[in-house]
Structure 1
Amino acid sequence: MSSCDPGHAAVGDVGAALMVMDSRLKAVYDGKTATDPEQEALIEQITASLGPKGADDVLDGACTLIFMYMKWLRAAYEDQEKDVIEYVVTSLVASMRVMTRSVPPEVIPTMTGLVVAAGTGLSPNLWRKQYGYWTRAEMTPLEVTVVLLAEHINRLTGDRDYATRLITDALAGTDID
């Protein structure tokens, strides 16, 4: 068993990570370059109240979203006899390369690695932890990665809320203490 097996990974605060992703995705769909000020204030308030442990939990939650989205995408592409890495990573890297203010070029390989790890059944957060702690430069690109994967799912399904519902339905079916 790999040290990056998802069974060894912390799930984190998936709810907070999902809230941030959903807020960003709605802003993209509404054609806004920034999120709604009220929503942004709520995100800032939650972020400020987290503390170091809470921030780590949101990072783990974002990686859980990446894992869950890639698991869904892998199944969807396998049904079409296509390779998820070929179809998702190519699109993800192309999108990130044009987002130069949000995604510095030097972090694109790390974000790509997270997605490839998840696409091959490994835990993205355990894969990343092999290389040390998260850097400040990786925070926004991590958020971008989650949003781009969710948008990819929404585009495939033709439903702008599908990726969010996918996670909320999974959470609703889980007993969480």
Structure 2
Amino acid sequence: MASSCSPEYAPAGDVGAALMVVDSQLKAIYDGKAETDPEQRQLREQFMASLGPDDVDDLLDGVCTLIYMFMQWLRRAYEDHDRDVIEYVVPSFVASLRMMPKSIRPEVIPTMTGLVVAAGTGLSPNLWRKQYGDWTGAEMNPLEATAFLLAEHINRLTDDHDFATRMITNALSHSSRGASSA
């Protein structure tokens, strides 16, 4: 019997917008401009301010889809080496979140960890989270950080700063080609 949190029941959301947000953060970190580029920060704030309620929901679903896709890639990569993705991703993920006390409040770390574990075990992170109520404002930065940290983990494993973004872009490209030919 399929779980009510199975990915096939989850909306994909706006994966493109979510990827743009994560990719801009990755580029800022790799370029050494994290939180120091006022133009980048202003563009980001303008983008977020332009979102309506439905757009925000689509973006949240898109970020959760990224988390799911990143964790599925990591699961396969670690299984190829007879390792458990939860064992090798979660401890460093939690440690990274704990090192960001200005952006990530300690009480949301268990929720973000739950999202990662849900995705790593084949469940939809957004449906897993939905069973506990609506998203809170305190979870927005940590949700973005979760997707960012997973993408960065993938990039470190592959020794390629663009691998995670390229992987999602390729998946989106293949899915849109399949949809347009149907």
Q: Is the 8 A contact 1:96 1:103 kept in 2?
A: yes
Counterpart-to-counterpart distance in 2, 1:59 and 1:35: 25
TM-score w.r.t. length of structure 2: 0.93
For residue 92 of structure 1, what is the amino acid of its counterpart? F
For residue 88 of structure 2, what is the amino acid of its counterpart? Y
For residue 36 of structure 1, what is the amino acid of its counterpart? D
2:82 pairs with 1:81: yes
Taking the TM superposition and a 5 Å limit, the aligned residue runs for 1:22-101 are 22-34=23-35, 36-101=37-102
C-alpha displacement of 1:38: 3.2
For residue 170 of structure 1, what is the aligned residue in structure 2? 171
- Paired residues, number: 177
For residue 148 of structure 1, what is the aligned residue in structure 2? 149
Structure 2 unaligned spans of 5+: none
Greater shift, 60-69 or 28-37, is seen at 28-37
For residue 35 of structure 2, what is the amino acid of its counterpart? A
Percent identity, please. 70
C-alpha displacement of 1:35: 5.9
Please list every run of at least 4 consecutive aligned residues from structure 1 whose deviation after the TM superposition is greater than 4 angstroms.
none
Give the secondary-structure state (helix, strand or coil) at the position aligned to 1:11: coil
For residue 148 of structure 1, what is the amino acid of its counterpart? L
Q: Is the 8 A contact 2:10 2:124 kept in 1?
A: yes
For residue 13 of structure 1, what is the amino acid of its counterpart? D
2:170 pairs with 1:157: no
| 1:12-39 C-alpha deviation (Å, 9 max, x unpaired) | 0111110110111111112233163333
For residue 8 of structure 1, what is the aligned residue in structure 2? 9
TM-score w.r.t. length of structure 1: 0.96
For residue 121 of structure 2, what is the amino acid of its counterpart? T
Counterpart-to-counterpart distance in 2, 1:68 and 1:109: 20
Q: Is the 8 A contact 1:24 1:35 kept in 2?
A: no
Q: Is the 8 A contact 2:25 2:34 kept in 1?
A: no
Q: RMSD of the alignment, in Å? A: 1.3
